[in-house]
Amino acid sequence: SQQGEEDPQALSIQEGENATMNCSYKTSINNLQWYRQNSGRGLVHLILIRSNEREKHSGRLRVTLDTSKKSSSLLITASRAADTASYFCATDPFTYALNFGKGTSLLVTP
Amino acid sequence: EPEVTQTPSHQVTQMGQEVILRCVPISNHLYFYWYRQILGQKVEFLVSFYNNEISEKSEIFDDQFSVERPDGSNFTLKIRSTKLEDSAMYFCASTVYRDRGETQYFGPGTRLLVL
């Protein structure tokens, strides 16, 4: 399977703490994207990292990509209750389709 | 900021009925996609569409499904004879181009319930 797979499946932290989610995949990729989904809602694009990039920042988000290990991580710093959502990595394996993982469910408690 | 829109937000239909899900991609985008997410499961690719043709489709996208760009703004997904297992959230997405750095922007989804 070319799908991204996130871990942990669920993560519970307190406001102000950092949240780290990991994604592993199996084949070569064009790029990797992270999305957020609030319960029952649409997918919000967070960040895209190309295969030749190793790290990328956007606000409180930091994404790393290690193509040798076929893995990526998403770090959310200084988390807020509003960050509570499911987070998905989606790999682009040089096709039109994005392959999504099952997601990490993040709960941030006040 | 431009966004992908989808209508309706919710659709309830009887098994065997036809449904059409509508999407308005971002106006300058050229590539369009449909995905679905069965409750509690991961998002799955259905089909991509470019230049009035299907460019790629998954095994899920069988003869019961079709896509169309009937005019310059709408992109539709038709399910001819719905089955119970078609119940899912359907997402439309679009991109400007199809190269290594393109973000796929998703709409808010249509929740389809087949009874």
- Judged on CB neighbours under 10 Å (0-12, 13-18, 19+), B35 is buried
Residues of B in contact with A6 (CB under 8 A): none
**Can you list the domains of chain A with their CATH numbers?**
5-109 (2.60.40.10)
Provide the pLDDT confidence category of residue A1 given band limits of 50, 70 and 90: very low
The pLDDT value given to residue A93: 79
Chain A residues in contact with B98 (beta carbon < 8 A) = 96
Residues of chain A neighbouring B21 (CB-CB closer than 8 A): none
The alpha-carbon gap from A101 to the nearest alpha carbon of chain B, in Å, equals 6
Chain B residue with CA closest to A103: the answer is B42
Residue A86 clears pLDDT 70, i.e. is over it: yes
Interchain contact, A98 vs B105, CB within 8 Å: no
Residue B2 with chain A: CB contacts under 8 Å: none
Q: Which of A75-84, B24-33, B74-83 has the lowest mean pLDDT?
A: B24-33
Residue B40's pLDDT is: 85
**Domain-wise residue ranges, chain B:** 5-114
- Which of B5, B39, B98, B103 is the best mutation test for A, with the most CBs of A within 10 A? B103
> Do residues B54 and B31 touch, judged by C-beta distance below 8 A?
no
Distance CA A19, CA A12 (A): 9
Taking domain B5-114, whether its CATH number is 2.60.40.10 is answered by yes
Q: Which of B5, B50, B106, B113 best probes binding to A when mutated, by most A CB atoms within 10 angstroms? A: B106
Contact B90, B110 (CB under 8 A): yes
Res. B105: pLDDT tops 70: yes
